[in-house]
Structure formats: structure tokens, C-alpha cells
A and B are shown apart, each in its own frame.
Chain A
């Protein structure tokens, strides 16, 4: 029997459920390793070599090197884990979140100051705005 996943029709949203967690285990654990200063330094010195120490898929490694957070999430990453990459790069959470929206950093910041992204038109995939 299929599991109940009522969140699949929410636009622009990937829910980090048990299935995503299974896919992203090594990717997310690589991110966790960046909580140690010496690992951050080693990663920055040679990203590819550092990533090759982890049993991640090639797609996951390329997505990390491209800092493509949407792709990382699609491949099982979770934003709180991926945030460690942003921290290593010296990025704020707002810069990271904004990078997934197709907006510039200034556009995203201005949207938040004006009250954030509206819920109207953003409840269901394919909903008319």
C-alpha cells in the first residue's frame, strides 16, 4: 500500500521524509562533518578530494560543488544540514534561502522586508496566481 504523502502537491517544496533521508544520508553526514573547523579547512583546500572521502553519488558531489541547493535537496539533502556548507562559505541563512528562489539577494531581502512571499497562489502546484 502506498504511504500517505499529502505534501507532494505543495509547490516549490520538498519535504524531508524518511525516503529523502535514506537517499541523502551520506550527503547530509558530509555536511555534518563541516561543523569541525579542521574539516572546513580541508574541504576548502580541495573540495573534490574531501567529497571523494564520502560514499556520495557523483550527482550529489557535483551539486555540492556547484552550490546548487535545490539540486542537493532533490538528491536527499536537508536544509539544516546543507546550511553547514553555507556557514563554511560565510553565507547567512537568508543568502542560502534566497539562492533557491531564482531571485537576486537584494530582491529576496526586499521581499522579506515587505512581508515575505504571499501565500496566495502558492498553496498548490498549478494553482492560478
Chain B
């Protein structure tokens, strides 16, 4: 029996959500609808605990300074500490990795022509820890090992949606060639529409976001051909994070998935929040 990817999770990773959790504000009227919207996702997560989560996210000038920003970086360490992003480290558990599977995936995917950077020391920021909180709540320890997979969406040019989608397929192949019957979930995080800079800051585009969700479910192949400029113009300069969702989608089976949960909410601070769970059938 080999490892397999059984499900994918898509979620925004807004830092203010982390702050709301850390400061005990989740029941406040501003935040209550958002956290209520994630309840079904948390219940599903409890009932479908994986052996490993492969978590696609982006570093926000935390582990990677302008000295060096890899386009695709895979975390192969035994553990990853929550970073001090300037407000002090978030009070969340240390993230335990899965070095054996991570190294296996790195080897396979690089041989498949995707030039990953192998990282053995890396602090993880809200991009990784907020999705874990949204899906798992605030436990003493995260429910399973996590392989952090960081994508550069900060410094242009960033990888295209097409390349991300094809990378997902290579990750699927890599997981399926691992000789241990592990149940793996792959998560794509970031987005949805938002812009954090300049006079256009605050941009939200609900029509774009919902069309993106529809197409991600039904026709990811076509969605993967969406050029960068469409994300920037329609979903805001930081909406480009959505290309990371295509990595997770590419790692799913070619047959249509089952939609377990879909949720959309505006706003969390400056951002539109989306959450989607797809299972392979």
C-alpha cells in the first residue's frame, strides 16, 4: 500500500484572524460570522483526521528576506517554530514536520522538472498557522505532522497558475509513490480578493471570487490558464495568492471531486475569506 491524497482544503490565511483567536475575540460580532462559517470545516477535520497535511502557503517576509526568496520551497525539517512577525510569536504549537515524506516528495518532484528548494530550518508565519487554527481550532498540539510548502507570491514574477497546477500533479505522483499507507491532505491557502497597498487598498471582488471557486471545483484545467494580470486587476495585487490553490487542486484525482463544504465571507480586516473542502471519490 502506498500513500494517497484523499482530500484538499482551501482557505484564506489573514493575519487578523490569528490575532482575533490569540486575543480571544472570536465571539465578537465582527468575527462571529466568520468563525461560525468554519464550524462545519472543523467538524469534518475532526472526523477525517489525516496522517499528514501538505500545506501550501506563502511566507510574508518572515523566513525569507530580500537576501533570498525561493520560488518553491519544501520544509524537510522535523519541526518548524511559529515566527515573530513583529508583534511577537503567535502562542500556537510548534509545527511537527514529516521529514521522510517531505524528502521523498522533494526527490520525486525535482526529478519531474520542478526545481524545489529544500529547507531544513524555517520559522513559519501566519500564512501557515492561521489555516491550522481555522481547521483544527486551538489544540495543545496540532493533530498530525505538517509539510510546509512555501510559494513566492511576494516578489514578481511569481509562478503562473499553470505551473502551480502542474506542480500539484507532480506532488500527487510523488505521494502515490511513497511506500507507506499514509492518508495525506493537501491544503492551498491565501486569498481571496484583497489588496493591501496603495490608493486601491481595500479592493474586494465577490463576483471574481465566487467564479474562481466555481471553476476551481468544475474546471481547474481552464482556471489554470488564467494569466497573472487577471488576478492583479480583478482580485487585487495580493489576490495573486490564489495561484497557490491550484497546487492543491492539481494534486487531486482527475475525476470530479465531492464538494464537502463551501463558505465565503467579507471582510476579515482587508480581505475576502474563502473556504472549500474537496474529497476524492
Contact = CB atoms under 8 A, between A and B. Distances in A.
A81 interface: yes
A113 to B, nearest CB: 7
B39 interface: no
Contacts of A106: none
Contact of A7 (B61, B204, B232, B238): B232
Nearest to B88: A37
Contacts of A87: 85-87
B269 A94 contact: yes
A122 B234 CA distance: 9
B66 A18 contact: no
A18 B86 contact: no
Contact of A16 (B154, B203, B234): B154
B198 A73 contact: yes
A98 B201 contact: yes
Contacts of A34: 86
Given A28-B61, A123-B234, A93 B15 contact: yes
Given A7-B229, A15-B237, A79 B270 contact: no
Given A17-B155, A108-B202, A119 B234 contact: yes
Interface residues of A, number: 56
Interface string A72-109: 01000011110110111000111011101110000010
A94 B196 CA distance: 8
Contacts of A11: 199-200
B65 A32 contact: yes
A84 B232 CA distance: 24
A116 interface: yes
Contact of B66 (A81, A96, A115, A123): A81
A31 B85 CA distance: 11
Given A25-B66, A35-B85, A81 B61 contact: yes
A70 B19 CA distance: 25
Residue with the highest number of chain A CB atoms closer than 10 Å, among B86, B207, B269: B86
B163 to A, nearest CB: 16
Nearest to A70: B198
A112 interface: yes
Q: For B30, B204, B232, B272, which residue has the most chain A Cβ atoms within 10 angstroms?
A: B204
A93 B198 contact: no
B60 to A, nearest CB: 4
B197 A79 contact: yes
Interface string B189-201: 0000101111111
Interface in A15-73: 15-18, 21, 24-25, 28-29, 31-32, 34-37, 40, 69-70, 73
Given A17-B157, A32-B65, A111-B202, A92 B85 contact: no
Contacts of B67: 29
Contact of A116 (B83, B84, B204): B204
B61 A78 contact: yes
Interface of B: 15-16, 19, 30, 60-62, 65-67, 83-87, 154-157, 193, 195-208, 227-229, 232-234, 237-238, 266-267, 269-270, 272
30 contacts: A7-B228, A11-B199, A13-B198, A15-B237, A32-B65, A32-B66, A34-B86, A40-B86, A73-B197, A79-B196, A80-B61, A81-B61, A81-B66, A84-B86, A86-B86, A87-B86, A92-B269, A93-B15, A93-B196, A93-B270, A94-B270, A96-B196, A100-B199, A111-B202, A112-B266, A115-B206, A116-B193, A116-B203, A117-B201, A119-B234
In the complex, the 5 A-B pairs of residues with the closest C-beta atoms, listed nearest first:
A116-B204, A87-B86, A12-B200, A12-B199, A17-B156
Given A10-B232, A116-B270, A122-B200, 8 more contacts: A12-B200, A73-B197, A79-B238, A84-B85, A98-B202, A116-B204, A117-B202, A122-B203
